[in-house]
């Protein structure tokens, strides 16, 4: 049992009675781990690009055996499960070629080491292969698979795939006892084996680019597919604009329209066809009218996105060729069709997918460690920002209900069953995609100003576009402020229309211009401008400066009545250091830039051998980019301000890398936040590593700098910015109506100056005055940061001994808790 104690570090105690591991620290929750004989982990991928492995405990110990199946972007999950398994002192095996490998046995099950899953994070697909297995669909095939598992003592399966694969795994689980009895009757196993391996436990991870599995906001692989789609759309837009063309893009997704819908939202498409929301009768006329109106407004290109499973209200297919022919015949526009096809399945996994898969992989191991014979098969899902466990078959049944609803023409129900994320995406797209005639718009007589404050962040322009268009839809007159509060004080403010923000979604930086200047020294001038332009509300999009600016406006209300209006802050900064939110607009784009650079640097280090790179990231005093970049890039260490370190830790890291150079992985990667320590600078760490590593490895350094602020926004930042901006504008409209009395707006309560942030699973409006107590103003960071809980995960996967906080783990929930009704409470 000493090895178990070592596995989790000194904070963990090994309990008695059932072999329970208990947390001594109040931050850590206890989880049970059976100790005895005859269990191991098996991971087996059987989807498009997948593979598997099983873990077995040391001689005399009983561990759980798991089978896993995966597809695109699953290498991060395979790596996490394998390394977490080895971390708990288990042997790990790959099962090649998915279920086929499980049926065939033999050389398809191979023991692997820690190094076996090195350098696979950046590789698409799966390194252990996958195959469609007809024999596993038969009882005879499953009987042979059961025999191969029992021979190796495997009694737990970790399956990565879609609803079909997960359903097959659950059927295998239900048949398990009967299969063992049949094997005993045939004399292939003895009665002792039947008793010893009487139960099969299953945990699933959903891997599908279609994002068609109910119960999770995002499946592994979806974000990477969106990256491929948006890359193509951005490239096509330049040629379409040059030649005034219309492009019809067909994207994958089978019978789910998620990819098409989110792509349309991310690029501002003119029209989108998805199977869950078929167009109404006469859609041909409506679409042509909209396209011609857009051309009349001097828009030089049109983008139409078609999901491969798109249908009309009579359940008849709508194809990309049909749409093209319609546009050519009715409007005479030069129109082209592009079918993206399997390009969406390939390429390098995004930072989001790598982190999601790593978190899910570790959660799957914990689920199997805690499983008992009475534990139902579960699936690890994403709800907002939380990894949760849901009953597998509840999710499968709800997924099947969606298709049934569409077949029966119950499309409203189909959208609801898809989940809150899908429903919110659809509602936001409908809100932004088409401008109503002026005569049909409400007249509110309110003026709302939008401005950017702080450093540029990708996704700011998408947020401005959404704010302007939703504001106009609500009947407001929208104003754009140029160059932040400094420009506001100088009167750089102008009315902005629906068409003015066309094409802004995919542009990086800040088109309005942004400065870090706080309003404190311009309060009187800003008040004059608000009075002159009759500004009734403000939307401030930016980073820590935006949050601080709104605090200053809030505190100045007693002196300037002009600031007694609804004010909403949207967090937009690559540093992700704004209190009151787990995510900020722009951080995902910066993270992808860091990870892409790290991938290239690792490739260089692999070629030269025995080389360690020190990478400096931005973020001020916030270590989000360094820590999450290290997790996504597979770094060996990350130095951040939030976790103070000394020379002894630096020395320990050097020794760790020295030991690593003795293995087959002869390269190292270390990330450092720019302000992690005043004295241990990037140059100091570089010189220390160079000196201490003499004769073992050499060292190089890279300061990434402002490249982290540039580039086109990622799909996540485009959609996150769009959705929270639309929600913020609706909140402003509500506050304007509530505070309008006697011909003027007067809002002087704390809840009229709010920051809209994502907290765990929900979008929450929080008064900035209340957030002051959660803020470290000296270092410009929140006092508590959720991502610090993932720091031990990064260390574990880099082969350091540490403890892992599982306080958010272990709770099996029901799918009903994640229904779209949560959207009413602010869920994103």
Strand partners, 812: 389
Q: Is 319 helix (H, G, I), strand (E, B) or coil?
A: coil
**Could you tell me the sign of the dihedral formed by the alpha carbons of 647, 653, 654, 656, in that order?**
positive
Q: Is 685 annotated as a binding residue?
A: no
Q: Is 154 annotated as a binding residue?
A: no
Q: Is 343 annotated as a binding residue?
A: yes
Crossing angle of helices 411-418 and 420-433, rounded to 10°? 120
Q: Is 253 annotated as a binding residue?
A: yes
Residue 764: CB atoms within 10 A of its CB come to 17
As a whole number of angstroms, the distance between CA 382 and CA 367 comes to: 15
Q: Is 611 annotated as a binding residue?
A: yes
Distances (CA, A) of 484 to 328, 449, 451, 735, 769: 44, 11, 6, 23, 21
496, two tokens: 């902005």
Q: Is 70 annotated as a binding residue?
A: no
Q: Is 475 annotated as a binding residue?
A: no
First vs last C-alpha separation in the chain:
45
Q: Is 709 annotated as a binding residue?
A: yes
* Pairing mode, strands 611-617 and 637-639: unpaired
Q: Is 51 annotated as a binding residue?
A: no
Q: Is 620 annotated as a binding residue?
A: yes
**Could you tell me the sign of the dihedral formed by the alpha carbons of 749, 751, 752, 753, in that order?**
positive
Q: Is 102 annotated as a binding residue?
A: no
Whose CA is closest to 390, among 160, 171, 216?
A: 216
Contact 52/27 with Cβ under 8 angstroms?
no
Q: Is 573 annotated as a binding residue?
A: yes
Q: Is 133 annotated as a binding residue?
A: yes
Q: Is 780 annotated as a binding residue?
A: yes
Long-range Cβ contact pairs of 401-409 (< 8 A, separation 24 or more)? 401/214, 402/212, 402/214, 402/256, 402/276, 403/255, 406/255, 406/275, 406/276, 406/311, 406/315, 407/315, 409/313, 409/315
* Pairing mode, strands 52-56 and 447-453: unpaired
Strand partners, 478: 448
Q: What is the DSSP letter of 820?
A: G
Q: Is 389 annotated as a binding residue?
A: no
Q: Is 575 annotated as a binding residue?
A: yes
Query: Which residues are the active-site residues?
Result: 210
**Helix, strand, coil: what percent of the chain each, to 5?**
45, 20, 35
As a whole number of angstroms, the distance between CA 264 and CA 337 comes to: 16
Torsion of CA 740, 744, 746, 751, to 10 degrees: 40
Q: Is 165 annotated as a binding residue?
A: yes
Q: Is 17 annotated as a binding residue?
A: no
The kind and range of the H/E element at 264 are helix 258-267
Q: Is 409 annotated as a binding residue?
A: no
Q: Is 803 annotated as a binding residue?
A: no
Q: Is 576 annotated as a binding residue?
A: yes
- What is the 3-class SS of 117-168, one letter each residue? HCCCCCCCCCCCCCCCCCHHHCHHHHHHHHHHHHHCCCCEEEEEECHHHHHH
Q: Is 252 annotated as a binding residue?
A: yes
Contact 162/204 with Cβ under 8 angstroms?
no
Distances (CA, A) of 572 to 288, 641, 812: 36, 21, 34
Q: Could you tell me how far CA 91 lies from the centroid of its own chain? A: 31
The length of the chain in residues reads 828
Q: What is the DSSP letter of 612?
A: E
* Pairing mode, strands 52-56 and 40-43: antiparallel
Q: Is 132 annotated as a binding residue?
A: yes
Strand partners, 756: 765
Whose CA is closest to 301, among 274, 273, 327, 339?
A: 327
As a whole number of angstroms, the distance between CA 2 and CA 536 comes to: 66
Q: What is the DSSP letter of 73?
A: T
**Could you tell me the sign of the dihedral formed by the alpha carbons of 761, 424, 505, 436, in that order?**
negative
Q: Is 329 annotated as a binding residue?
A: no
Distances (CA, A) of 343 to 131, 132, 340, 346, 508: 20, 21, 6, 5, 24
What are the binding residues for ATP?
Answer: 132-133, 162-165
What are the binding residues?
Answer: 132-133, 162-165, 208-210, 245, 252-254, 308, 336, 342-345, 516, 573-577, 611, 618-620, 674, 700, 706-709, 780
What are the binding residues for beta-D-fructose 2,6-bisphosphate?
Answer: 516, 573-577, 611, 618-620, 674, 700, 706-709, 780
What are the binding residues for Mg(2+)?
Answer: 163
What are the binding residues for substrate?
Answer: 208-210, 245, 252-254, 308, 336, 342-345
């Amino acid at each position: 049992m000493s090895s178990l104690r070592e596995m989790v570090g000194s904070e963990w105690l090994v309990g008695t009675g059932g072999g329970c591991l208990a947390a001594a620290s109040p931050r850590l929750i206890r989880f049970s781990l059976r100790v005895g004989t005859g269990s191991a982990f098996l991971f087996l991928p059987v989807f498009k690009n997948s593979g598997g492995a099983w873990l077995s405990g040391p001689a005399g110990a009983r561990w759980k055996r798991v089978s896993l199946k995966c597809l695109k972007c699953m290498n991060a999950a395979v790596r996490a499960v394998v390394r977490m398994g080895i971390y708990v002192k288990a042997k790990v095996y790959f099962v090649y070629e998915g279920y086929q490998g499980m049926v065939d046995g033999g050389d398809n099950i191979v023991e692997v080491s820690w190094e076996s899953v090195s350098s696979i994070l950046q590789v698409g697909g799966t390194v252990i292969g996958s195959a469609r297995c007809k024999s596993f669909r038969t009882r005879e095939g499953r009987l042979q698979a059961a025999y191969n598992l029992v021979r190796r003592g495997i009694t737990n399966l970790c399956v990565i795939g879609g609803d079909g694969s997960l359903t097959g795994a659950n059927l295998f689980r239900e048949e398990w006892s009967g299969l063992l009895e049949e094997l005993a009757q045939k004399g292939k196993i003895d009665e002792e084996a039947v008793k010893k391996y009487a139960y099969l436990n299953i945990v699933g991870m959903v891997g599908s680019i279609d994002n068609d599995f109910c119960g999770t906001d995002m499946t592994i692989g979806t974000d990477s597919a969106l990256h491929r789609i948006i890359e193509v759309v951005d490239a096509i837009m330049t040629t379409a604009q040059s030649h005034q063309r219309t492009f019809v893009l067909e994207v994958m997704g089978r019978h789910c329209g998620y990819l098409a819908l989110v792509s349309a939202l991310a690029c501002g498409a003119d029209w989108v066809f998805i199977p869950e929301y078929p167009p109404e009768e006469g859609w041909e006329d409506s679409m042509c009218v909209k396209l011609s109106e857009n051309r009349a407004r001097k828009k030089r290109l049109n983008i139409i996105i078609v999901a491969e499973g798109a249908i009309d209200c009579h359940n008849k297919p709508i194809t990309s060729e049909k749409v093209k022919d319609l546009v050519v015949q009715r409007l005479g526009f030069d129109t082209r069709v592009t079918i993206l096809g399997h390009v969406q399945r390939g390429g390098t996994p995004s930072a989001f997918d790598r982190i999601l898969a790593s978190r899910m992989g570790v959660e799957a191991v914990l689920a199997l460690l805690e499983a008992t014979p009475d534990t139902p098969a579960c699936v690890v899902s994403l709800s907002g920002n939380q990894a949760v466990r849901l009953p597998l078959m509840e999710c499968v049944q709800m997924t099947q209900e969606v298709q049934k609803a569409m077949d029966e023409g119950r499309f409203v129900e189909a959208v609801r069953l898809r989940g809150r994320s899908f429903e919110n995406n659809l509602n936001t797209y409908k809100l932004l995609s088409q401008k109503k005639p002026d005569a049909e718009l409400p007249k509110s007589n309110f003026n709302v100003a939008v401005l950017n404050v702080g450093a540029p962040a990708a996704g700011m322009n998408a947020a401005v576009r959404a704010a302007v268009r939703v504001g106009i839809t609500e009947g407001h007159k929208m104003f754009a402020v140029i160059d932040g509060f400094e420009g506001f004080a100088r009167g750089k403010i102008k009315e902005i229309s629906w068409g003015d923000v066309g094409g802004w979604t995919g542009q990086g930086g800040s088109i309005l211009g942004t400065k870090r200047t706080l309003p404190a020294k311009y309060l009187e001038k800003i008040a004059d401008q608000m009075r002159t332009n009759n500004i009734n509300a403000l939307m401030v999009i930016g980073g820590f400066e935006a949050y601080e600016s709104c605090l200053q406006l809030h505190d100045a209300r007693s002196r300037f009545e002009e600031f007694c209006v609804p004010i909403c802050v949207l967090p937009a900064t690559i540093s992700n250091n704004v209190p009151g939110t787990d995510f900020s607009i722009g951080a995902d784009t910066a993270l992808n830039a860091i990870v892409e650079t790290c991938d290239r640097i690792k490739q260089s280090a692999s070629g030269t051998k025995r080389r360690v790179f020190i990478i400096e990231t931005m973020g001020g005093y916030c270590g989000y980019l360094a820590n999450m970049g290290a997790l996504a890039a597979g770094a060996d260490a990350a130095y951040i301000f939030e976790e103070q370190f000394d020379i002894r830790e630096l020395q320990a890291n050097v020794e760790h890398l020295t030991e690593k150079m003795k293995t087959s992985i002869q390269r190292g990667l270390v990330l450092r936040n720019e302000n992690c320590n005043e004295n241990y600078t990037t140059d100091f760490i570089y010189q220390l590593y160079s000196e201490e590593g003499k004769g073992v490895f050499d060292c190089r350094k890279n300061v990434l700098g402002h490249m982290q602020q540039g580039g086109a926004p990622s799909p996540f930042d485009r959609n996150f910015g769009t959705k929270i901006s639309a929600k913020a504008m609706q909140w402003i409209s509500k506050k304007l109506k509530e505070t309008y009395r006697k011909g003027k707006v007067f809002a002087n309560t704390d809840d009229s100056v709010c920051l809209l942030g994502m907290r765990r699973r929900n979008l929450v409006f929080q008064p900035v005055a209340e957030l002051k107590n959660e803020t470290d103003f000296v270092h410009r960071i929140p006092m508590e940061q959720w991502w610090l809980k993932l720091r031990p995960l990064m260390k574990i996967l880099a082969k350091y001994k540490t403890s892992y906080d599982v306080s958010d783990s272990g709770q099996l929930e029901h799918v009903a808790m994640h229904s779209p009704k949560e959207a009413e409470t602010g869920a994103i």
